Amino acid sequence: MPVDAPGLDDGVTAVAHPNIALVKYWGKRDERLILPVTDSLSLTLDAFPTTTTVRPDPALSTDEVTLNGIAAEGEAHRRVTTFLDLVRARAGSTERAAVTTLNSVPTGAGLASSASGFAALAVASAAAYGLRLDATALSRLTRRGSGSASRSIFGGFAVWYAGPEDDAGDDRARDLASYAEPVSAELDPALVIALLDTGPKAVSSRAAMKRTVGTSPLYRPWAESSRADLAQMREALLRGDLEAVGEIAERNALGMHATMLAARPAVRYLSPASLTVLDAVLELRRAGIPAYATIDAGPNVKVLCRRGDADRVAGAVRAAAACRVVVTGRGPGARLHSGVR
Ligand code: 2P0
């Protein structure tokens, strides 16, 4: 081993990228196991990586979690500890850990920070505690931290299976049936991200999806239509049909926001600036540029287009909304960075 190679004393480091769903995950049927109501499908990005180091330490009496140099407290700390408890239980360890995370994406702004965050945490902690898991098992484990994170284990396009909705079986069988895997695609698009507001959202996506499932009369129809969207999306990806991929992604996302707007009380992540960008996207299409919008649990709009059109799309979005714009594309799956056992 070279003298400057990081040893296990320095912990295990992993890197993961966020993913943006083209067919959304919105709603759980089991909160504890994080089993979704519907399958979802996403593109892992080549921007905004999260780098996380996990260092088990017998001297610690509690997990020490640092996020961008600041000690995590409350819910953020609890979610990390709950996840590490799962890893420790499987590894037969009681050792607490120091966890250091550098997130290059704004946290809690609907920019998939929990996806890259929990994917990096899962890969680093599984290795740090000596669990040997294949990618499928890793995606299942990651799901328990944050549902969408299960998809960030894989690069490019990935599908996350909900498992059978009428599953009355034991927890182990239900857990096994919900995992992510790569999706074949003849498409390498750009995703232009309009950073309209990078502050944390008022309602967490976890709370918002729970309220939507529980109270929105539009939820079931959307979930039903999402099944057809997913099947058609897979075919469109295989054909490399950007227009079809974009149309399905846009309708699925706007439908998801409709379910939230109909929740009681309403959950509204869309802002006036979001609508301005939606208008700019329509204008681009009228001008013959295939560009399609998707929006997550926040006001920021992501625009799917051909790589060759990305600069023009970025310019149009910037001019319309006077915002920072980042051009992204397909990125890699979560991976170990150093300190591999
Ligand atoms: C998605 N989102 O498919 C959807 C679209 C936001 C809108 O997954 O409760 O942070 O940790 O499983 O994964 C955000 O929800 O929720 C999300 P939990 P998560 O990307």
Pair (179, 30) in one structural domain: yes
| 225 — pLDDT class (breaks 50, 70, 90) | very high
Contact 47, 156 (CB under 8 A): no
pLDDT of residue 5: 41
Q: Give the CA distances from residue 94 to residues 53, 86, 89, 157, 212, in Å, rounded to whole numbers and listed in that order.
A: 18, 11, 8, 36, 37
- Strand pairing report for 70-71 and 64-67: antiparallel
Check whether 8 has a pLDDT greater than 80.
no
Contact 300, 294 (CB under 8 A): no
Check whether 109 has a pLDDT greater than 80.
no
pLDDT of residue 319: 98
Pair (181, 200) in one structural domain: no
20: tokens are 């943006």
Residue 337, domain member (yes or no): no
pLDDT of residue 317: 98
pLDDT of residue 199: 82
Residue 338, domain member (yes or no): no
Contact 317, 276 (CB under 8 A): no
Ligand 1 binding pocket includes 13 (Cβ within 6 Å) = no
| 81 — pLDDT class (breaks 50, 70, 90) | very high
**Domain of residue 114, CATH code:** 3.30.230.10
Check whether 119 has a pLDDT greater than 90.
yes
Give the span between the Cα atoms of 90 and 129, in whole angstroms. Answer: 9
| 110 — pLDDT class (breaks 50, 70, 90) | low
DSSP 45: B
Residue 340, domain member (yes or no): no
Pair (135, 237) in one structural domain: no
For residue 87, the enclosing domain spans 12-185
- pTM for the predicted model, two decimal places: 0.95
Residue 4, domain member (yes or no): no
Pair (23, 156) in one structural domain: yes
Give the residue-averaged pLDDT of 138-159. 98
Pair (165, 290) in one structural domain: no
Pair (177, 220) in one structural domain: no
Contact 27, 36 (CB under 8 A): yes
Q: Tell which wins on pLDDT, 339 or 59.
A: 59
Residue 333, domain member (yes or no): no
Pair (181, 294) in one structural domain: no
Instruction: Pick the last residue of a domain from 135, 166, 185.
Output: 185
Instruction: Of 105-119, 159-173, 219-233, give the lowest mean pLDDT range.
Output: 105-119
Instruction: Pick the last residue of a domain from 185, 206, 237.
Output: 185
Which atom of ligand 1 is nearest the CA belonging to 143?
A: 12
Ligand 1 binding pocket includes 206 (Cβ within 6 Å) = yes
Pair (96, 217) in one structural domain: no
Pair (272, 133) in one structural domain: no
Check whether 314 has a pLDDT greater than 80.
yes
Give the span between the Cα atoms of 305 and 326, in whole angstroms. Answer: 13
Instruction: Of 99-103, 229-233, 261-265, 335-339, give the lowest mean pLDDT range.
Output: 335-339
Structure confidence by residue, pLDDT tens digits, 125-147? 999 999 999 999 999 999 999 99
| 165 — pLDDT class (breaks 50, 70, 90) | confident
Tell me the CA–centroid distance for residue 243 and ligand 1, in Å: 25
Query: How does the average pLDDT of the chain come out, rounded?
Result: 94
| Strands (DSSP E) found in the chain | 12-16, 19-23, 28-30, 35-36, 40-44, 50-56, 64-67, 70-71, 97-103, 157-160, 180-182, 190-195, 291-295, 301-305, 324-329, 335-338
Pair (168, 241) in one structural domain: no
Residue 5, domain member (yes or no): no
Check whether 2 has a pLDDT greater than 80.
no
Check whether 106 has a pLDDT greater than 80.
no
Pair (25, 143) in one structural domain: yes
Largest CA distance in the chain: 63
Tell me the CA–centroid distance for residue 230 and ligand 1, in Å: 17
Structure confidence by residue, pLDDT tens digits, 228-263? 999 999 999 999 999 999 999 999 999 999 999 999
Instruction: Of 33-37, 166-170, 192-196, 270-274, give the lowest mean pLDDT range.
Output: 166-170
Mutating to test ligand 1, I would choose from 30, 205, 219, 222 the residue with most ligand atoms within 8 A of its C-beta, which is 205
pLDDT of residue 202: 85
pLDDT of residue 339: 46
Pair (216, 280) in one structural domain: yes
Ligand 1 binding pocket includes 210 (Cβ within 6 Å) = no
Beta bridge partners of 39: none
Instruction: Pick the last residue of a domain from 185, 211, 239.
Output: 185
Q: Give the CA distances from residue 279 to residues 205, 257, 293, in Å, rounded to whole numbers and listed in that order.
A: 25, 16, 10
Tell me the CA–centroid distance for residue 25 and ligand 1, in Å: 6
- The number of folded domains in the chain is 2
Residue 339, domain member (yes or no): no
**Domain of residue 249, CATH code:** 3.30.70.890
